Amino acid sequence: MIIASWNINSVRLRLPLLLGYLRETSPDVLCLQELKCEDAQFPRMEIEDAGYNCLVHGQKSWNGVAILSKGPLEEARRGLPGDENDAHARYLEATTPFGAGVLRVASIYLPNGNPVGTEKFAYKLAWMARLNAHARQLLAWEEPLVLAGDYNVMPAPEDVYDPVGWADDALFRLETREQFRSLANLGFTDALRAVTDAPKQYTFWDYQALAWQKNKGLRIDHLMLSPQAADRLKSVTIDKAMRAKEKPSDHVPIRAELA
């Protein structure tokens, strides 16, 4: 079972790249973020023709998350609980068959939070607290669970090309990393860090200032595994070559193989 996550930065503009990825890499499950379209504009037919079922939580202009699976998808939750006034489309959860049981998966687009000191940063931290509260509930299922997505968090200095320069950014502030650590401390495994200690395992390079060419990247896309998923982890791959394609997203997919 291959499960992948990719911040696609406009699913409509990136459709040819997405179809190529599905064809070449053939993940069983793919979580997408930053669709930047409403449900009705989602290219469902083309993706279904490629052999995938789709669950979509879209929004006009910004945000938007989806889950694609070769198997049937049963929606578990649309939107993160804990704030009825939060209208951002940043969370979608579903189950899909896995072996004799099911895999539970969430597609997560965590708020950016910049600039620090504004309501945007407060929203990010509150959103992370809500995620942690919900994740704690999900662990009670005691099933393979993957919280996959763009966390907009670099967990440690080796995940940033310039940790000193980024110290006061919302993606790297101590409060942000503290919330991310709380998620891990509930019992979730950062899949990439379970297979390597190597620094510079980036998943994002800014479009600006030749960031890709200079390898000025960030590791902000993560697969967080419940104990039952972590026990079945075989490998993790960052599909870095996707950043060198024509009209790329600024993020690349990350995927894990579960036995």
Partner DNA sequence: ATGTCGCATTCCATGCGA
173 touches DNA by CB under 7 A:
no
Amino acid (1-letter code) at residue 114: N
Residues in contact with DNA, total (CB under 7 A)? Answer: 17
List the structure tokens of 128. Answer: 């992370």
62 touches DNA by CB under 7 A:
yes
How far, in Å, CA of 159 to CA of 89, rounded? Answer: 27
Q: Is 130 exposed, middle or buried (CB count within 10 Å of its CB: 0-12, 13-18, 19+)?
A: middle
Using the minimum distance from each CB to DNA, give the nearer residue, 120 or 177: 120
247 touches DNA by CB under 7 A:
yes
136 touches DNA by CB under 7 A:
no
Q: What is the DSSP letter of 153?
A: -
Helices marked H in 85-219 — which ranges?
Answer: 119-139, 174-185, 191-195
Using the minimum distance from each CB to DNA, give the nearer residue, 75 or 168: 168
Which of these ranges, 55-63, 156-164, 187-195, 224-232, lies near DNA under the rule CB under 7 A?
Answer: 55-63
Q: Is 197 exposed, middle or buried (CB count within 10 Å of its CB: 0-12, 13-18, 19+)?
A: exposed
Using the minimum distance from each CB to DNA, give the nearer residue, 51 or 122: 122
Among 44, 120, 134, 240, binds DNA (CB under 7 A): 120
61 touches DNA by CB under 7 A:
yes
The contact set with DNA (CB under 7 A) reads 9-10, 12-13, 36-37, 60-62, 111-112, 114, 120, 207-209, 247
